[in-house]
């Protein structure tokens, strides 16, 4: 039986898992939850995931949440090889570092921008939050020096994770291609990969959702 993924398409972490599954040719039972109806707060959902986040994976009774944990689990269990999440300890450490960079810097700064807009009706992006996001781009620009992909010359789950977040927040805080040519080239390179086509729907929905809530002034 295919693993079940509880999800909403606009969520960047959800799309990380969708890209990972596509890359390893794994079919998921995609179960979209009613986010605005707060289905993530029902007793049934909280029993699976006390943090009430998406995505949540149910693999034949084994439940796990957090896109980084889910993606590395799926590759470790279902992939035909370890190219997306190497078994070599040094290569894996680099991929892990990039995943932590995405969660600790990029995604956390994305949330500082998006949560007040979505849940508190803030109609604008504060300048300091915009600057922090641009600083995140600058850090990634430095990380990418001499590299084709996030962890080196090969695609890894870190690229999917970073694409889901950077591609989304860039619709609200654009990436200056002159200041960040490596990030710009990396973004185009990863977006062009066939498995990353599943990212587009959610990224477009993310942009429409948040732009509709921002002041037009």
Provide the residue-wise pLDDT of the chain in tens; the chain has 217 residues: 899 999 999 999 999 999 999 999 999 999 999 998 999 999 999 999 999 999 999 999 999 999 999 999 999 999 999 999 999 999 999 999 999 999 999 999 999 999 999 999 999 999 999 999 999 999 999 999 999 999 999 999 999 999 999 999 999 999 999 999 999 999 999 999 999 999 999 999 999 999 999 976 4
Are the folds of 4-78 and 89-211 the same? no
* Token representation of residue 29: 């039972």
pLDDT value at residue 216: 66
Question: Any bridge partners for residue 56, and if so which?
Answer: 6, 65
Domain limits of the chain?
4-78, 89-211
Active site residues: 11
Phi first, then psi: give them for residue 189, nearest 5 degrees: -65, -45
Assigned architecture for domain 4-78: 3-Layer(aba) Sandwich (3.40)
* Token representation of residue 108: 């956390």
Stated pTM of the model: 0.97
Query: Is 89-211 in CATH node 1.20.1050.10?
Result: yes
N- to C-terminal Cα distance for the chain? 51
């Amino acid at each position: 039986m295919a693993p079940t993924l509880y999800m909403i398409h606009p969520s960047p972490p959800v799309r990380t898992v969708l890209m990972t599954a596509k890359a390893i040719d794994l079919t998921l039972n995609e179960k979209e939850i009613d986010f605005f109806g707060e289905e993530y707060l029902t007793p049934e959902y909280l029993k699976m995931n006390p943090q009430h986040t998406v995505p949540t994976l149910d693999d034949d009774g084994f439940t796990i949440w957090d896109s980084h944990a889910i993606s590395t689990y799926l590759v470790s269990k279902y992939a035909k090889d370890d190219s997306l999440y190497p078994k070599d300890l040094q290569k894996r450490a680099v991929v892990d570092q990039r995943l932590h960079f995405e969660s600790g810097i990029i995604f956390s700064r994305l949330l500082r921008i998006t949560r007040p807009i979505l849940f508190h009706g803030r109609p604008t992006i504060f300048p300091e939050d915009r600057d922090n996001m641009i600083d995140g781009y600058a850090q990634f620009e430095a990380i990418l020096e001499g590299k084709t992909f996030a962890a080196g010359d090969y695609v890894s789950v870190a690229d999917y994770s970073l694409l889901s977040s950077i591609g989304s927040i860039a619709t609200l805080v654009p990436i200056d291609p002159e200041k960040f040519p490596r990030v710009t080239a990396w973004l185009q390179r990863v977006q062009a990969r066939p498995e990353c086509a599943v990212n587009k729907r959610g990224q477009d929905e993310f942009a429409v959702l948040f732009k509709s809530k921002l002041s037009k002034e």
